[in-house]
Structure 1
Amino acid sequence: MQVIEGATTNSKANLSPVSDIIHALQNILARSQSVTVCRFRYMIGCRFIDDEQIPDLETPYCRLPNTDQTAIPKGQRLISTIITERQQQLDAVLHEISGLETVMDGIKNLHQQLVEKKDRITQSMNLHKGLGSALWRLPNELLSHIFVYCLPEAKYLSPESEPPMLLTRICRRWREVALGIPSLWCRLCMEFVNNSDWQWAAVRYNSWLKRSRGCPLSLELHCDADDLTKLRSLLRPYINQISSLSIKISVPGTQPELLLKDLPALQELTIWWNHDDPPIAQSISRLPSTLRSLLVGESWFDVGDISSSNPVWAHLINVQIDIIRPNAFLHLLQLCPNLSSLAVSTDFPQIQTQPLEPFTHTKLRFLGIDSVFLGAHSLPVLFDALSLPNLRVFETCEVIPWPHEAVKALLVRSKCPLESLIFSGRRIATITDEQRAEYTALFPSLEIVSTVYQT
């Protein structure tokens, strides 16, 4: 033990290399193992160990079969003297154990330092190996284009480990390049659903949005919090950048205009709103004239709702909406002269029998109709009033029964260049071979598709 302590002290004093310390310890352990000879003897249940480093603890009393004091040979040392001697030996051993543990702790610390040194050397070696690769020699401009192609195809990105966040964790150069590309940070999904740490989430989203540096933003907002004031405050510095916005609100009484007002660059809006209070039409009427695409889900529109949003419809090119009356359908088309694509869910509570005023829409290329409940029964009256001379794709979802004669009359009257007729849904309308032949006769290159959705 004295040798080990001396070696440790000299190492600190002389600042010897780690290899010298390791060599000295190896020598000490080798000498210790070479001089140790253990011998075990068993006599009357007692175990004896003779060792040059371990003292001989054998006494005449170990051979006695009992502790009868009359049997103790005369002239032997008193038992108390032996106990005192053993206590001294025990104290010496405990002292040596304590010293050895101190040395072992020092060795553990030295080992940890060496492991950390090894990791730093490995990191440096890998870095310099990378310097010789072709990827490292790519100019920043080319690396930027590669990063853009690394982005997922999803319309909105989550600030997790997927690109672009993953690109910032490879190396310092990649992080600098990624943070210098605003287009990497223009799509973001922001979730505030029962968020217990709103402040932390706001800091994370704000950091992402800052990197967009004024580029147009596409945002998706999941808002189950009934107070949107903080979210509006978070988005305020980026209001002029928001060009695409998707909102899902599921809390009754929430004021959607908090998120929909003052969006001067908005071109695309998707909003899921399943509450009647307040009416969503009031908020839509305040949207800017820059809006070109509008999708409203889980909220039914009548003629009055559509009329109240009149200023918005004139500029729209794409609309997806739920309508509860055939005349509201026609009224929407009348207010959307530039409409190219229209997808409508119809739920007509009463079967329409009275004819509607004829109307021709010259720019509509795609028409999708999803029939709900009694919606299909009033479609013939609606189709009889329509003319769509530019229609290319006609898709129907669960339109049962299929109004073949009304649809054929619409297509003949419109003289449109129809390319696809699509039947979709969990249940799809069936057409006979004769009806199929009639459609093919009108449009020889027509593609008729049937797609059944799995429940």
Structure 2
Amino acid sequence: MQTSNLKVNLSTVSDIIAALQTILCSRVIPEVFDLETPYSRTTFPNPNHCAIELKDQSISAIITKRQHQLDKVLHDISGLQTVMDGIHTLQQPLIKQKNNNIKSINLHKRLVSPLWRLPTEILSQIFCHCLPQFPGLNELQPPSKLTAPMLLTRICRWWREVAMGMPTLWYTLSMKVHDRDWQQAAFFYASWLKRARGCPLSLRLQFHAENDSTNTGEFSMFRDLLALEEMSVFIYENISRGDMPADISYSILQLPFTLCSFDASGWLLNFNDMSSCNPIWAHLTTLRIRVSEAKAVLHLLLLAPNLSSLTIHIESEDVQALRPFTHTNLQTLDISCECFLDPGSQFYHLFNALSLPTLRILAAHDVLEWPHEEFKAFLSRSECPLESLIISGEVTDEQRAKYVALVPSLQFVLH
């Protein structure tokens, strides 16, 4: 039978199936040969074999017979295998047709699904609620195809078009990268952020560097992100507590002037670091940072006149008096200190030096000895509209009353 150009239609396949079912239902049982002989139970050479051979049949004749039987079985097996291969060949286009039918059914079911009748505006709102929470710097993971927004582009063509046309799905990005694969990550950044289409951008980057020279000059790509407004960076590296390496400070200088919120709490900066990154501070309104000396706080406030919210951690054993300084825009100050030699000294000197006339929220953490008199003088001097005071140290009811007397807007004191 010639099959190279044969096109089997459904009726032919049905005929074959019917014929095979008829054969199978007839319960044709393959011939089973009786293999029992006078020698079957003999396990060791026996001198009586010769007598048995003379009485019955020779062993060589039995072997010849068994070989003919084996040849017949192998021939039947080969024939059945050929039939099964042919059935498998007939089955493949049917399976393909089945899959195509299922796809067509699912497509048309989607067309009558309520989701397909939703206006794009409502679907866009649903997509926004699918976004995962923005992780902390110590929880950063590369974007996954199994979570929004990337997952939304893999459901169907319409969802992909809606998701790709929504800048609000792509304006935030968290990434954990190593200096060895930074260029690949930078390319991924660029592809992702192009979809934001000018929407204010928010980035979180955790960078792992193996060497003292971190080769972070590639950060210069951020200078082209003119819509970048928020950025958080945490760098793991072998850098001592000396001055910041030139390539890192250069990278910070490449950040665009549109940046207004910057989280650099992954670095420990000193006075010189502040100066080396000077231009970036002037445009910031929100900052999270760690510094190695109290005087760096005042220097930072001097370099960042537009700052309205500052979260700062001071790690220093160096205790010294600070020059008076007034910052006219700071409204929220969250500060913590580490100074084991003289607990409370950092707060003591800061409250003696600072005047914050617009301060509304003050949080002071890790205060072992609260400088009551210095803080009271700070309130009197600043004349600020303080509304919330959060202190981890001990404050008496009498001290609270004095604070409220100086600042009537103060509603509560927590510690």
Deviation digits for residues 209-248 of structure 1 (CA, Å, limit 9, x no counterpart): 4434454443333332566479458x47954454433333
Matched to 1:53, the amino acid is E
**Match of residue 414 from structure 2:** 449
- For 2:41 and 2:125, locate their aligned partners in 1 and report how far apart those are by CA, in whole Å: 90
Give the 3 Å change call, closer, same or farther, for CA 444–140 of structure 1 in structure 2. Answer: closer
Q: Does 1:370 align with 2:336?
A: yes
Match of 1:219 among 203, 210, 214: 203
Q: Does 1:251 align with 2:251?
A: no
**Match of residue 131 from structure 1:** 111
SS of equivalent residue, structure 1 residue 402:
coil
5+ residue gaps, structure 2: none
Q: Does 1:68 align with 2:36?
A: no
Maintained 8 Å contact 1:157/1:187: no
Match of 1:159 among 143, 147, 150: 143
Q: Does 1:179 align with 2:147?
A: no
SS of equivalent residue, structure 2 residue 205:
strand
Maintained 8 Å contact 1:349/1:375: no
- For 2:253 and 2:190, locate their aligned partners in 1 and report how far apart those are by CA, in whole Å: 29
Question: Aligned-pair distance for 1:400?
Answer: 1.5
**Match of residue 265 from structure 1:** none
The RMSD of aligned alpha carbons is 3.9
**Match of residue 434 from structure 1:** 398
Maintained 8 Å contact 2:307/2:330: yes
Deviation digits for residues 42-73 of structure 1 (CA, Å, limit 9, x no counterpart): xxxxxxxxxx8234556677799975333456
**Match of residue 20 from structure 1:** 15
Matched to 2:261, the amino acid is S
Maintained 8 Å contact 1:348/1:375: no
- For 1:305 and 1:64, locate their aligned partners in 2 and report how far apart those are by CA, in whole Å: 96
Deviation digits for residues 246-268 of structure 1 (CA, Å, limit 9, x no counterpart): 33333347xxxxxxxxxxxxxxx
Give the 3 Å change call, closer, same or farther, for CA 422–277 of structure 1 in structure 2. Answer: closer
Match of 1:32 among 20, 27, 33: 27
- For 2:183 and 2:348, locate their aligned partners in 1 and report how far apart those are by CA, in whole Å: 55
Matched to 1:389, the amino acid is P
Question: Aligned-pair distance for 1:131?
Answer: 1.1
**Match of residue 45 from structure 1:** none
- For 2:269 and 2:343, locate their aligned partners in 1 and report how far apart those are by CA, in whole Å: 13
**Match of residue 339 from structure 1:** 307
Question: Aligned-pair distance for 1:113?
Answer: 5.0
Question: Aligned-pair distance for 1:185?
Answer: 2.3
Matched to 1:208, the amino acid is W
% identical equivalent positions? 48
5+ residue gaps, structure 1: 1-5, 37-51, 254-272, 451-455
- For 1:341 and 1:100, locate their aligned partners in 2 and report how far apart those are by CA, in whole Å: 82
**Match of residue 119 from structure 1:** 99
Q: TM-score, normalised by structure 1?
A: 0.72
Give the 3 Å change call, closer, same or farther, for CA 282–399 of structure 1 in structure 2. Answer: farther
Higher relative contact order at CA 8 Å, sep ≥6: structure 1 or structure 2?
A: 2
- For 2:183 and 2:255, locate their aligned partners in 1 and report how far apart those are by CA, in whole Å: 29
Maintained 8 Å contact 1:402/1:430: yes
Matched to 1:246, the amino acid is S
**Match of residue 359 from structure 2:** 391
- For 1:386 and 1:84, locate their aligned partners in 2 and report how far apart those are by CA, in whole Å: 111
- For 2:205 and 2:184, locate their aligned partners in 1 and report how far apart those are by CA, in whole Å: 16
SS of equivalent residue, structure 2 residue 374:
helix
Deviation digits for residues 328-363 of structure 1 (CA, Å, limit 9, x no counterpart): 4334334433332223323443433x5x54433332
Match of 2:245 among 258, 278, 298: 278
Deviation digits for residues 9-38 of structure 1 (CA, Å, limit 9, x no counterpart): 9xx7875443322222121112234xx4xx
Match of 2:31 among 53, 59, 62: 53
Maintained 8 Å contact 1:395/1:421: yes
Structure of greater Rg: 1
Give the 3 Å change call, closer, same or farther, for CA 340–216 of structure 1 in structure 2. Answer: closer
- For 2:65 and 2:254, locate their aligned partners in 1 and report how far apart those are by CA, in whole Å: 99
**Match of residue 81 from structure 2:** 101
- For 2:230 and 2:306, locate their aligned partners in 1 and report how far apart those are by CA, in whole Å: 20
Question: Aligned-pair distance for 1:171?
Answer: 1.4
**Match of residue 301 from structure 1:** 270
Question: Aligned-pair distance for 1:397?
Answer: 0.9
Matched to 1:69, the amino acid is C
Maintained 8 Å contact 1:346/1:375: no
- For 2:94 and 2:157, locate their aligned partners in 1 and report how far apart those are by CA, in whole Å: 25
